[in-house]
Amino acid sequence: MSEVVRASTEQDADPRVLGQAWRLIQETKPPQGQAGRNLGRASGSSLEFQDFRDYQMGDDLRHVDWRAYARTDQLTVRLYHEELATTLELVIDGSASMDLTSAKAQAWRSLATFLHAAAAGEFSVKALQAGETTQPIQADVFQNSKLPGVHPAGALSLVDAPREGMLRHGSFRVVLSDFLFPHDPASLVAQWGRGAGRLVFIQVLDEGESQPQARGLLRLQEIETGKWRDLPVDEMMAKRYQQRLHRLQLSLEEELRRKNGLWISVNTQSTLEDWAHGPLHESGLIAPR
Amino acid sequence: MSWFTTPFGLLGLLAVPAVVALHLFRRRHQDHAVSSLFLWEDTETAETAGPRRQPLRRTPSFWLEVMAALLAGLWLGGMDPLGSSKAVHMVVILDDTASMAAKDKPGASLEEKTPHGRALKRLDSLFSKHGRRLRTTLVKSGQRPSVLAGPGALTPDAKQALKAWQPESPSHSLGPALTLARELAAGGEILVFTDQELSPAADDLRVISVGQAIDNFALAEVRRSRTSNETSDMIQVAVRGYSDQPGSTSVKFVAAEKTILERKIQALKDGERSLIEFEVPARLGAIEISLAADALEIDNHAVLHPLPDRRVKVLFALDGKAHRELGLAGAEATFGGMRRVSSAADADLVVAHQAASPPAWNLVMPKEEDELEAFAGPFAFERRHPLMSGLTLEGVIWTRSGTFGAPGSPLISAGDRTLLSEQKQAGSTNWFLNLLPGRSTLQRSPDWPIFFTNLLELRRSRLEGPQSVNLVAGEAFVYRADESAHWTLTGKGKEKSFRAQGDLRLESLAPFGFWKLSRDGNFVTSFAVNFVDPAESDLRNRGSLVQSPGPGRAALAESRYAESSFGKILLLLLLMMIAADWWVLGRRAA
């Protein structure tokens, strides 16, 4: 396993440079329809044998090495090299809430640049901005971590954003959003997971969104619709909000796990390098090169 | 020196602390953008406490609202440091005579074509010209002038008072009103609104004549009197034509909703008089008299109310000889205004040798006797007493009884001998006439019917009831009464209630027409007040002219009336503050 050197000023570190130290990992079921050209490092269902490991609940019984079971009286499955998708679809939520604060705006841009850089060499990257119209983002935009020309300003959430004809079958699909909109987790996952080789939802939240503080009387105004509500935001109310946010995150995570997907949530309290070493790496999305 | 023309308006400055308090205690919600409300929406929002004082946030809205409240207070207070230090005081005399309501042409409305309407219009323009610095005192002329608004009323109050002004007084001098106005004006200018072209005004007067010369017919006399037979009334109505050219009109008499007489009167001019006389039964009710419509409505109508029976009921209880010698057998025909009765209980006046008990009044005379005293004069008598009115006693031989007592105050005496005395008691009066008619010549002299008529009139004047029921403009209504009572007077939608002790006297009743009087809730009489006033009916000498005071006074008045535009600037700034606050709050909400 390669060593990763952490930058001293993580917040200011160039996401592209940082991303080049990491690579994306696929370890899901083999893609359907479109056969990959590469063998993945994760196990899959190709005919090329890779390794053995102990049986785990949910493993395909066809891969159980029955002979080994007869010898050892332990269920062992045969691992094969996975057939990997070669395309990373990086879907960026185009609603205005993504730029709610400058920290949040910088955070998801850095993360997108980071992922773009981490995918380089092994994936062809297709970036999309999902909004009123779902549009591709040119690759050269990612040369600048500020993603010039990409300005989320729409009012449609990912539930309603058009997708037809824009998504590639069997792709490695990573969706960047705050996921702070009313939705049914199952439907949302089904919508964006349809045809994907692997589906990853990465939630990017501002500090105030993930951990709101008691701030007295607030006129909360929805940035996308202009609707507002006057509320006394005390500790109790902030706590209830966090509980509801947590339930939302759990429901999405559960639904994704059920679909063999991956849920990652980051917020602006931490730096990109923290995310890389933390949730991105620990979830198995990335690994040091 | 004050900068404020309406100091009470400064109470509006209380709005400043009110605005501050509102900002201190109002719930302020800090704007906070969120990605979505749905995670907040079903949270509990009930608050357990009311507004609490919070640190004052000096937002643009706060300062704009404080400034607006400050400007509003100053504006309401009439702040005007650039203008005069005093409010202008305009004292106005309003001629309240009925001719101010004369219409230029029949059918014109009161406001459009009358001196009254023109006066209101001129006043309205003066109110507008002088603005909010104006204080007005309105004096309504009359025999007893009254202050209609003020002293120093605000313009809205003056305008309100003017709405109630309906000129209908009989003719009177403007002198008393001028005296009152001068006291109120304290040396300032006085405006006089009248329909007459007055003689050159004094220095402090600006006379604005708003009249117009116009022809008019009027009821100049209306009278109803009882004829000597006591069964019929004589109606006498005179119509005068106040025009330079001969004109015609018609007069109609209506009783019990039936026309009893209608006459066409032609070719009246230069104040000529046409008299209509006719008799009606005494029992006939009220008679309404009306002339055809012309310039002045008020002098076209009159009512003649039926006359009450005011004859004095007299009991003659002298012995037959004295009765004959005094010639009282035909007294009813001789004196009139009296009615013979046979019982002292029914009598108003008893003529007898012994005084009857009250409430009857008595003329007591002695019986024939031997002890006599005769006098041929000179007689001393109290000439100011009503009984003595017209008496001379010249050539009279007066023989008296030496034993007849004459208590009370002497009215006629010869030397130290009292011949007639008056004794007043509670509720009645007795006169003691020490006269032996068989040996005297008084009853055969012209003084006797005069004396007896005076006696009847004096008694009649003290009978309970109205002295007259058909009054003319300016005449007082008098109801003779002894007891204290609660009176109610109603007429033409007006009702007055009052308590009076003894006689009731009501001066200058208006409006003209029919009135009813009740005592302690019980109807006692009705009467009519008619506008008969040739001085007001003759409109030929009316005119329109403005007689200004001298140049110096006029200039002084104009400069004192000047008002700077500071108030308008304050108002403009106030509106700007409100608009700016509106804009700021609108932006915040957006």
Domains and CATH numbers, chain A: 12-28+86-288 (3.40.50), 47-80 (no CATH)
More confident residue, A28 or B68: B68
Q: Which parts of B303-434 fold into alpha helices (H)? A: 320-325, 331-335
Count Cβ neighbours within 10 Å for each residue of B243-279 and write b for 16 or more, e otherwise: beeebebebebbbeeeeebeeebeebeeeeebebeee
d(CA B214, CA B212): 6
Class of domain B216-309+532-537: mainly beta
Answer yes or no: are the C-beta atoms of A240 and A216 closer than 8 Å: no
Range B465-530 classified under CATH 2.60.40.10: yes
Q: Which parts of A171-269 fold into alpha helices (H)? A: 185-193, 207-210, 235-258
Q: Which of A122-131, A144-153, B24-33, B202-211 has the lowest mean pLDDT?
A: B24-33
> Given an 8 Å threshold on Cβ–Cβ distance, is A97 in contact with B35?
yes
Amino acid identity, residue A168?
R
Prediction ipTM score? 0.76
> Given an 8 Å threshold on Cβ–Cβ distance, is B30 in contact with A217?
yes
Answer yes or no: are the C-beta atoms of A25 and A41 closer than 8 Å: yes
Closest chain A C-alpha to B122 CA, distance in angstroms: 58
Say what the pLDDT of residue B5 is.
65
Nearest of B585, B38, B588 to residue A229 by alpha carbon: B38
B38 contacts in chain A (CB < 8 Å): 180-182
Nearest of B191, B277, B262 to residue B232 by alpha carbon: B277
Q: Which of B28, B38, B40 sits opposite A231 (nearest CB)?
A: B40
Residue A112 has pLDDT above 90, yes or no: yes
A215 contacts in chain B (CB < 8 Å): 30, 32
Say what the pLDDT of residue B484 is.
83
> Given an 8 Å threshold on Cβ–Cβ distance, is B47 in contact with A232?
yes
Mean local confidence (pLDDT), A225-242: 87
Please give chain B's pLDDT, 590 residues, in tens: 456 666 777 888 888 888 888 877 766 678 888 988 888 875 444 444 555 566 677 788 888 989 999 988 888 877 777 655 566 788 899 999 988 988 876 655 655 688 888 899 888 988 888 777 788 899 999 888 999 887 888 888 899 999 989 888 888 888 899 889 888 887 777 888 888 877 656 777 888 888 888 889 999 899 998 887 778 899 999 999 888 888 889 999 999 899 999 999 887 788 788 899 999 998 898 999 999 888 888 899 999 999 888 888 999 888 888 888 888 877 777 777 888 888 888 888 999 988 887 778 999 998 877 788 888 878 888 889 999 889 888 888 998 888 888 888 999 998 888 889 999 888 789 999 998 888 888 888 888 889 989 999 988 888 888 888 898 887 888 888 877 888 999 988 788 888 888 888 888 777 778 899 998 889 989 899 898 888 888 888 887 766 665 544 543 344 444 456 777 888 899 999 999 988 888 776 55
Amino acid identity, residue B390?
G
Say what the pLDDT of residue B83 is.
57
Query: Whole-prediction pTM value?
Result: 0.50
Confidence of residue A263 (pLDDT cuts 50, 70, 90): very high
B43 contacts in chain A (CB < 8 Å): 231, 237, 240-241
Quote the Cα angle for B32-B34-B35, to 5°.
165
Chain B contact probe: residue of A160, A184, A229, A236 with most B CBs at under 10 A: A229
Say what the pLDDT of residue B589 is.
59
Helix (H) or strand (E) holding B260: strand B258-268
Say what the pLDDT of residue B107 is.
58
A245 contacts in chain B (CB < 8 Å): 39
Q: Give the number of other CB atoms < 10 A from CB of residue A117.
A: 22
Most distant CA pair in chain B, distance: 137
Q: Which of B34, B41, B47 sits opposite A221 (nearest CB)?
A: B34
Q: Which of B31, B38, B44 sits opposite A219 (nearest CB)?
A: B31
Residue A81 has pLDDT above 80, yes or no: no
Class of domain B312-460: alpha beta
Closest chain B C-alpha to A10 CA, distance in angstroms: 27
Closest residue in A to B28 (Cα) is A217
Closest chain B C-alpha to A228 CA, distance in angstroms: 8
Chain B window 12-51: which residues touch A at a Cβ cutoff of 8 Å?
27-41, 43-45, 47
Both structure tokens of B261? 């007489």
Closest chain B C-alpha to A14 CA, distance in angstroms: 27
Answer yes or no: are the C-beta atoms of B441 and B396 closer than 8 Å: yes
> Given an 8 Å threshold on Cβ–Cβ distance, is B45 in contact with A231?
yes
Closest chain A C-alpha to B573 CA, distance in angstroms: 32
> Given an 8 Å threshold on Cβ–Cβ distance, is A209 in contact with B37?
no
Tell me the fold of B86-213+541-560.
Rossmann fold (3.40.50)
Mean local confidence (pLDDT), A185-206: 91
